[in-house]
Amino acid sequence: MSQALIECIPNFSEGRRRELIDDIAGVITRTQGVRVLDLHVDADHNRTVITFVGTPQGVSQAAFAAIRRASELIDLNHHQGEHPRIGATDVVPFVPLSYSSMQECIGLARALGERVGGELGIPVYLYEAAATRPERVNLENLRKGEYEGLKSAIASDPERAPDFGPKRLGPAGATVIGARAPLIAYNVYLTTGEVEIAKRIAAAVRHSSGGFRCVKGLGMLVEGRAQVSMNLTDFRQTPLARVQAAIRREAERFGVGIHHTELVGLIPQQALVDAALWHLQLDPFDTDQILENRLYASAGASADRSFLDALADGTPTPGGGSAAAQSGAMAAALVAMVARLTQGKKKYASVEARMAEIVEQAEALRRSLQSAVEADATAFEQVMSARRMVKATEAEQTARAQALEQATRSATEVPLSVAEQACQVLELASEVAETGNVNAASDAASAGALARACLTAAGLNVQINASGLADRSMAEAWRQVLEELERRAGESEDRLRQAIHDRAGLGG
């Protein structure tokens, strides 16, 4: 079965001494279970961004090794560059990819932060989805005053106290660690050397000063040319092409133009497809018309058959719990599809913002449910392993009973989480059926049916597994949770049926 895949994109405050950069990159490439996808070195920013992917355990270990090596090689007291920074390893974000979830990345960020603070003595701040305080969600708040300002504030200002590690800065500074969605780092170079123009354009497009949502921007001078340096934190809510067009218009006001642009690191393919559609005015368009997508879809069909083959095998795993999670993931994908088919349509302008939120929620649920496909199988394998433990002596019987109780509890918690997420997907399905694109009403109904199947199957797994628990109070608590989920699901199904009746004329 497929393995969880996490992306990690650490930023290091060194972009001029190639031997140091290669040394840091080397400890990542030598870590088992990871592979480096990209290395972006910027001498003007004096900064390097390394993108690598791997298993959760692999990326966490690689990130720790890189932070440790950077702390040995980089002294912030002698660092100068255009980009704001507070640490030798300035920021370490984890991004969920296939068969992983944002919650898993939050757990990785917090565990790594605790380890870095404890073992390396480096102050650590948590940001974005892993943040412990609302004011620490945004990275720019944590970088306030940069390394030099934080050096004095960290010990005297309670608001600047780190989440982990000491309240003092050494030459390696502090590190910001977190979990976030895919981000596009995008720089626009102008046909002028006047940095003030870049600063005014950046202020016009960034969200914090009244510009586009999900856009962060700075104006700076790079290689003698004014640059608008940006991070697009959610390209689906604010497309890259829309920001580019706004920068071009703003530049024209100052009598300048765009010289060229650059990406820092990697970009999701869909962002480029969206940009092409914007400029080509290609409507209607289906991503299935892209040759490579059609090829990958064909390969994906083979992967699906592999899962079905494994499901049909005469082995206990994967079983009903994994099948339930797969059904829930398919339901969430359909909800996201309906919401996207609603976005950008004049007829549905009043729900545009809500549909963007639903896409984000549905995609998060889909990733989490995909992770549960394997998690359920792993949990049940632990139950079987506990059952096989030797029980010849009284001590062995006690150890076996304890192991079996813990494994059974874990094997029950996974489908319970799946059931809770299925209920959320069903609620979203009813909402897109009510207010989404009426031409996709049948897809919303299908999402609801799959979510209902997921909830039913996962609930059965919870009941059966919980029946084997010695802790009956826990089993009873889970039964009550299922009852509440069934109540909510019933309300959502009523809404869904009514919406289909009213909007699609299917009756019933």
Question: Which residues form the catalytic set?
Answer: 83, 376
Residues 38, 52: Cα–Cα separation, whole Å: 7
Amino acid code (one letter) for 129: A
Residue 127 DSSP SS3: strand
CA 7 from chain centre, in angstroms, equals: 9
Radius of gyration of the chain (CA): 25
Amino acid code (one letter) for 135: E
The pair of three-digit structure tokens given for residue 484, joined into one six-digit string: 């509440």
The pair of three-digit structure tokens given for residue 93, joined into one six-digit string: 């974000």
Phi, psi (deg, nearest 5) at residue 101: -130, 165
Residues 127, 109: Cα–Cα separation, whole Å: 9
Residue 208 CB contacts under 8 Å (≥ 6 apart), including other chains: 140, 216
Residues 218, 228: Cα–Cα separation, whole Å: 6
Residue closest to 62 by CA, chosen among 70, 179, 47? 70
User: Measuring CA to CA, how many Å separate 371 from each of 7, 101, 103, 300, 329?
Assistant: 15, 7, 11, 17, 9
Residue closest to 23 by CA, chosen among 71, 81, 69? 69
Residues 167, 151: Cα–Cα separation, whole Å: 9
The pair of three-digit structure tokens given for residue 106, joined into one six-digit string: 């939050």
The pair of three-digit structure tokens given for residue 412, joined into one six-digit string: 């029950």
